[in-house]
Amino acid sequence: MPSKKDAAAARTTTGAAAPARLAVRKTYKLFIGGAFPRSESGRTYVVADSKGQFVANAAQASRKDARDAVLAARAAFGKWSGATAYNKGQVIYRVAEMLEGRRGEFAALEVPESELDEAIDRLVWYAGWTDKIAQVAGGANPVAGPYFNISSPEPSGVVAVVAPSSPALLGLVSVIAPVIATGNTVIVISDAPRVAITLAEVLATSDVPGGVVNILTGSAAEMGPWLASHSDVNGLDLTGVADAKLALELEQAAAETLKRVRRPAAVDWSADPGLAPMTAYLETKTVWHPKGL
């Protein structure tokens, strides 16, 4: 269903007569530290709709934007990882509420109804995991001695993610939600700028603290190597990378700092994701203490 905006855009590019009312277009910028900056590089790239019509000049993020996003994600990590599991669950549930309320915007971006449903339900699913994963992934260990011994999962830290190109919304939600539900902060590279930045607007109005999710629109081949080799990034999710050569280069770059890496995989995005997307960026901390009178 083409929106008024799209129709207006189409007219502008085809040089037709001026409309009675000119639509106000959205500027698609980046999402870093809870703000919407333009790329520091000043670059944009043309985004077309499925019919090939111009719809936007999206910000094309650079290496320096990626660096800024790492700073923002690291700054947000302490507070987000320290938030109670109950609080994190509430925040992610709030994202689902906001997404439900903005269905129309995603429909206008040609996101199919069923994908929207799945994306919202996936957020609800992960909202419920925040205060359960520690019980499923951790627990008491019956050591052979007078010791209290307990293992608990903790977030790895800052995780860089290359979002799959398709399905744009469900793929994006499915790579962000498990990472933040477990207390990590995330930097996402997306090549679907309109869906990604509209989701950023959902996140920005959902009590997600600034810097917990940072979205860079542009090229994974350009920004990926900088994030993969960045010393303050702890994890790298390559699930969405279609180019095997790029994935190999990024995994090799990540080896230098021993990042936790998820390799590209054929994913059925509408299937039950299982625990792996969450446990991939969880560390196990085991605490010992003697027992005695």
Regarding 151 and contact with another protein (CB under 8 A), the answer is yes
Regarding 252 and contact with another protein (CB under 8 A), the answer is yes
What whole-number distance in Å separates Cα of residue 246 and Cα of residue 95?
32
Regarding 251 and contact with another protein (CB under 8 A), the answer is yes
Instruction: Find the shortest distance in angstroms from Cβ 15 to another protein.
Output: 49
Instruction: Find the shortest distance in angstroms from Cβ 141 to another protein.
Output: 4
Residues in binding contact with another protein, number by CB under 8 A: 40
Regarding 284 and contact with another protein (CB under 8 A), the answer is yes
Long-range CB pairs of 19-22, under 8 A, 24+ apart, other chains included: none
Regarding 139 and contact with another protein (CB under 8 A), the answer is yes
- Beta pairing, strands 147-155 & 158-162: unpaired
Regarding 145 and contact with another protein (CB under 8 A), the answer is yes
* CA distances from residue 276 to 187, 220, 237, 281 in whole angstroms, order as listed: 19, 23, 12, 9
Residue from 123, 159, 186, 254 touching another protein (CB under 8 A): that is 254
Residue 121 CA, chain-centre distance (Å), reads 16
The interface region with another protein, picked from 31-39, 103-111, 133-141, 167-175 by CB under 8 A, is: 133-141
What would you measure as the largest C-alpha separation in the chain, in angstroms?
A: 88
Regarding 271 and contact with another protein (CB under 8 A), the answer is no
Is the Cβ of residue 269 or residue 281 nearer to another protein in the bound state?
Answer: 281
Q: Among 34, 32, 86, which residue's Cα sits nearest to residue 62?
A: 32
Sign of CA dihedral 158, 253, 168, 43: positive
Residue from 15, 42, 52, 290 touching another protein (CB under 8 A): that is 290
Residue from 234, 241, 273, 278 touching another protein (CB under 8 A): that is 234
Instruction: Find the shortest distance in angstroms from Cβ 190 to another protein.
Output: 23
Regarding 258 and contact with another protein (CB under 8 A), the answer is yes
Residue from 25, 51, 79, 289 touching another protein (CB under 8 A): that is 289
Is the Cβ of residue 40 or residue 283 nearer to another protein in the bound state?
Answer: 283
Instruction: Find the shortest distance in angstroms from Cβ 167 to another protein.
Output: 23
> Which positions lie near another protein, rule CB under 8 A?
136-137, 139, 141-145, 147, 149, 151, 156-157, 231, 234, 244, 247-248, 251-252, 254-258, 260-261, 263, 274-276, 279, 283-290
